[in-house]
Chain A
Amino acid sequence: MVKRSRLTRLLALGMAVGLAATACGGGRDDEESSGGGASNGTTSGGEQATGFDIDTSECTDYQPDTGVTDTSIKIGVSLPLSGPYGTAFAAISRGYEYYINSVNEAGGVDGRQIEVIKYDDVYNAGTTKSNIDKLVQEDEVFATFNVIGTPNNLAFRDDYNAVDSLCVPNLFTGTGSQLWGQTEAYPFLIGSIPAYPTEAAVFVDYLQQQKPDATLAVLKQNDDFGEGYAEALVTAIEGTDIEIVQEEVYNSDSPDVTAQITALAGSGADAVFVGATGLACPNALKAITGAGWDPITYISATCTSQTILNLAAPEDTTDVLSTGYIADPKAGCEAQLEALDPELATNMEDFRAQVQANGGSAEDASNGFVAYGWSMGQLLEETLKSAPELTRESVMEAAYNLQDVDLPLLLPGVSANTNGVEDPFVIESLYIIKYSGTCWETQGEVVDVEGRTKEYIPEG
């Protein structure tokens, strides 16, 4: 949501009318207001029993194999293809389409072609819901896949993914909310990327090694995403000498965070955690330089793409920290991969060639979002292949029983692992990464919190 706040618009409208009336006569000003994603969250915590076997008896009108024929499997996707988030996120769908294209050309999954139907939701949760309705009811897809955005997935999970719903699989959502760990209530939904609280915990761990008594300033977005970080930081610093000295909030509608950063800089904290996404990230980095502040800076892993970093100057982004689990395909950064793991560098070369062989541009071949989409396509293929039968129940069980699935572009030591309610999170190993001004470089060893993500999720 890159737009200025709706309040700004309302006041603007009121003022325009008022001024017109006072200064020179009446006037009306209608302005289209852009819909932002609603943010609402439900959290149900609690420890669950071990073992994972999906019971479909509570499902309403359970259709085990809709969308599967002898020759094809239909998969539905809803994501922003236009609008402020369109450019960046549309690349994700190109990524898995290139991969799926290569799978289909090689004969598909057990002789079945994967058919992807995708609709644009402009990152608007309401549109996501109607897209999913259409995908399931009219297009009759077998499963939905990699739907992007926390509010967007929340908009339909009660109708389709809950234990007493239509029970349609929602595979590998494109969001890192900790809400995707509620397997018992929502067995037909599974996440993909590391949960935001895990990221926060890994950063605190690193900060403690660098500066055990650091003071920390926090910038957070005023929704579930920002709160997730902020609460996780409080949990993570318990028992350490790290202290959060100041916290500032920004509205996701207005990405200019200069005033907030100026306030944080006033605290003179040793480190700053930028729990922001989109344009607010580069703006925060610029404002930090502008305030003459030189803290240890951490930015959300959602901001690590080159598309976003390039919005700030090299002197703003140099030495910025984040976390990463997948290799950055940026052209010119091959040496970093080679040094880390020669095999990874080979895999990356292979990825580039494959993307271009399947209709992608050279730009796509060095785009991090495409690499993520590509890897999600591999995960989908792997899951469909490993399911004993192509029923919705069986595929979800397979997704919740991934064992050391080693996707080629994941960093060394990172793999996809799940184990039902015990371990619902797909990727739980992270590196601290540092930006050199041109490339991301991993710092130290992989931090493996496999099966422990739940420990970092605050109660509530």
Chain B
Amino acid sequence: MSEFLQFFFLGLGRGAIYATLAIAVVIIFRATGLLNFAQGQMAMFSTFIVWGFYDGFGLPLWPSVLLGMVVSFLMGALIERLLIRPVSDKAGHNPLPVVIVTIGLFLGFQALAPWLWGETAKPFPQLFGSGSVEIFGASIDYQTLGTLAMLAAEVLVLYLLFQRTKVGLAMRGVASNSESAALVGVPVGNMLMIGWGLSAAFGVLAGVATADVGLDSTLMLGPLIYAFAAATLGGFDSPLGAVVGGLIVGVVTELLAHYVDAIGNDLKLLPAFLLILVVLLVRPQGLFGKAQVTRV
């Protein structure tokens, strides 16, 4: 039992990271109806920026993370304004050109990071320190506990932002129907910029929570796939779905890897992949998403 619990906790820790990244994916999807394939690589790049503040300028860890989030917010907003919007305006209702741009961003960040900071993996400290506490005969480390707490805080902040502020209301308006929002005076373009900025800023949290295994340009390749699985399962337009989906994906993949020898640690991605397929076939809107209804 304690062994089961041990891997359950491991999965929760991983799941919290997937959920954090999935939330970033969902924020952009809600605002624009698009998947940002560069989400993981943007988070990786931002984590390098955090590392720069921490290691290069010698700032304490948490201020570095906050500064990294601010810089990433600006970076995300600029990307929307300079790269996404011009293409999106020209493309009209065809989503393909913007998707291609995000894939270009994926490759760009992937190449830019080693060029700027070298290919050697950088040592990144554990955000929550080293150590563990024992619960029901299994131990859960500070990193897992901390990541879960961080996820909870993030969800609370987002809830307050979307439900209790004017900017949040405007963003929801744009997500719901951008034309109507524009007609009632909401600056749609600014809201999209803020959406991209927020997404990039929260992506940093996923990056810094996982970077202690060694920070290099491949950091978020795996987590991005799990995050997509989480968002698919939870529903692409539901932040709550992203959280629940992320935790489920984390726990299920770790338990399967441990208890099913045929999967093991090398084939962990397989269940995530199957999950995406099954959800898309059986319930494309996911657990918490709204079904797309088209008027005929």
Contact = CB atoms under 8 A, between A and B. Distances in A.
Interface string A282-316: 11001001111100000000000000001111011
Interface residues of B, number: 60
Interface string A84-110: 101110000000000000000000000
B120 A14 contact: no
Contact of B119 (A25, A30, A86): A86
A245 interface: no
Contacts of B267: 7
Nearest to A312: B130
B141 to A, nearest CB: 3
A28 B277 CA distance: 19
A31 B110 contact: yes
Contacts of A289: 130-132, 141
A12 B144 CA distance: 25
A84 B35 CA distance: 31
A23 B258 contact: no
27 contacts: A4-B218, A7-B267, A7-B269, A11-B269, A11-B273, A12-B269, A14-B273, A20-B35, A24-B33, A31-B110, A84-B120, A86-B119, A249-B265, A262-B6, A262-B258, A263-B258, A265-B6, A266-B3, A286-B212, A289-B131, A290-B130, A291-B6, A291-B132, A291-B141, A292-B132, A313-B126, A316-B130
Contacts of A7: 266-267, 269
Among A23, A258, A312, which residue has the most Cβ atoms of chain B within 10 A?
Answer: A23
Closest 3 CB pairs of A and B: A292-B139, A290-B141, A292-B132
Interface residues of A, number: 60
Contacts of A212: none
Interface in B122-137: 123, 125-126, 129-134
Contacts of A397: none
Nearest to B33: A24
A157 B218 CA distance: 33
A290 B143 contact: yes
Nearest to A291: B139
Interface in B83-98: 94-96
Contacts, number: 156
Contacts of B96: 24-27
Interface stretch (B162-170, B182-190, B198-206, B221-229): B221-229
A116 interface: no
B121 A279 contact: yes
Contact of B221 (A9, A255, A290): A9
B75 interface: no
A15 B228 contact: yes
A259 B10 contact: yes
Contacts of A335: none
Contacts of B221: 4, 8-9, 12
A251 B257 CA distance: 14
A32 B110 CA distance: 9
Contacts of A86: 119-120
B37 A11 contact: no
Contacts of A310: 123
A342 interface: no
Interface in A419-459: none
Interface stretch (B62-70, B100-108, B173-181, B240-248): B100-108
B51 interface: no
Nearest to A317: B130
Contact of A83 (B95, B106, B119): B119
B130 A84 contact: no
A345 to B, nearest CB: 29
Contacts of A311: 123, 214
B103 A29 contact: yes
Contacts of B218: 2-4
A8 B266 CA distance: 9
Among B10, B118, B129, B142, which residue has the most Cβ atoms of chain A within 10 A?
Answer: B10
A6 to B, nearest CB: 11
B175 to A, nearest CB: 16
B288 interface: no
Given A24-B33, A25-B99, A4 B222 contact: yes
B59 interface: no
Contacts of B276: 15, 18-19
B216 interface: yes
Contacts of A3: 216, 218
B214 A283 contact: yes
Nearest to B96: A25
Interface in B1-52: 2-3, 6-7, 10, 33-35, 37
Contacts of B273: 11, 14-15
A23 B32 CA distance: 13
Contacts of B121: 2, 84, 255, 279
A260 interface: yes
B280 interface: yes
B213 A87 contact: no
Contacts of A249: 265
B270 interface: yes
Contacts of A315: 130-131
B95 A19 contact: no
A131 to B, nearest CB: 19
Given A263-B258, A283-B214, 14 more contacts: A2-B120, A8-B222, A9-B221, A15-B228, A15-B273, A20-B35, A20-B103, A27-B96, A251-B266, A259-B10, A259-B258, A262-B258, A290-B141, A292-B132
